Amino acid sequence: MIIVMKPDATKKDIDHVLERIESVGLKGVLLQGTSRNVIAVIGDERVVPADFWDVLPGVEKSVPILAPYKLASKEGKDFKTVIHLGNGKKIGGEQIAVIAGPCAIESKEQIVEIAKRVRDAGATALRGGAFKPRSNPYTFQGLQEEGLVHLARAREASGLPIVTEVLTPEHVKLVSKYSDILQVGTRNMQNFLLLRAVGEAGKPVILKRGMSATIEEFLLAAEYILAQNNPNVILCERGIRTFETHTRFTLSLSVVPQLKEMTHLPIIVDPSHGTGKRSLVNPMCKGAVAVGADGLLVETHPDPERSFVDGPQTINLEAFDCLMQELKPVAEAVGRRM
């Protein structure tokens, strides 16, 4: 159930509705829009009559939500969510957001150099892994808190918001101390304790689709974060496992317009992990923008062949500069801008 408040509804009206929701054993989550507010009602709504909410002061109407992902659903919410990152940066608006950086933080010098270069090329935010979940336990696992310190220094040097992955609920507090945006990786998409923990942290969250997850499972994972009163969820399509072997994963760009029909949340695409081939990053970035993606997640490094992690899918900084320039006419063609 979504309760749509009138445009002139006061804070007192909203607080009263939230109190009434709690009084009948349900949970209310306020979703703030540009012109009006809506309140999502979570729980077994059969405990109250269908018209119970419509008589409350400030309420315009109540709308039943059929989808199981009540907060992520586009039903009842007539505006798109825009995530504000600070420094005027945002994800979900007219401008295409580009989050760029190395797969792993290797040193302070490396991440600071990359931060300045991607900023100058027009990036929205800087990415870099401090904790690296690897299939092989004997490979590089990241610099951990030292890497977070380096990432924070790169933010100071470049002015860019920073993004890094968090692996466990126990790490959320530590990573939140440094990072502006928390990332939940594909292996953790259904780690429900972690989803709740990042939701409670209150920071924007990039949620990557699980490599074998359906779209409904993806949105239900987002629901765990949203249900903690954290509306700042960014969905990320990063490829799924299929029978095909010519790429690392199969990057399903059709997911982007499909999700646009189902949810108000912004959607970004990761062509680096989605293909595993640096030669495919540029064309798949253009394709993602063309089908409506709100942003891109791109791995770049000064010397990809010497990268500690995922060198084959990483483009160099010169290629990133060219990519940013080549994306401009694509964005303009679909009514967006870089």
Q: What is the pLDDT of residues 216-232, one digit of tens each?
A: 999 999 999 999 989 99
pLDDT tens digits, residue range 177-212? 999 999 999 999 999 999 999 999 999 999 999 999
Are 183 and 51 in a shared domain? no
Question: Containing domain of residue 281, as a range?
Answer: 83-333
Are 206 and 58 in a shared domain? no
- How far apart CA 283 and CA 57 sit, in angstroms, is 52
Are 176 and 29 in a shared domain? no
H helix and E strand count, the chain: 10, 15
For residue 141, pLDDT over 90 is answered with no
Are 58 and 87 in a shared domain? no
Are 41 and 107 in a shared domain? no
Number of domains in the chain: 2
Residue 50 belongs to a domain: yes
Are 240 and 176 in a shared domain? yes
Q: In which band, very low, low, confident or very high, does the pLDDT at 14 lie, cut at 50, 70 and 90?
A: very high
Q: What is the pTM of this model?
A: 0.90
- How far apart CA 29 and CA 118 sit, in angstroms, is 37
CATH number at residue 12: 3.30.70.1140
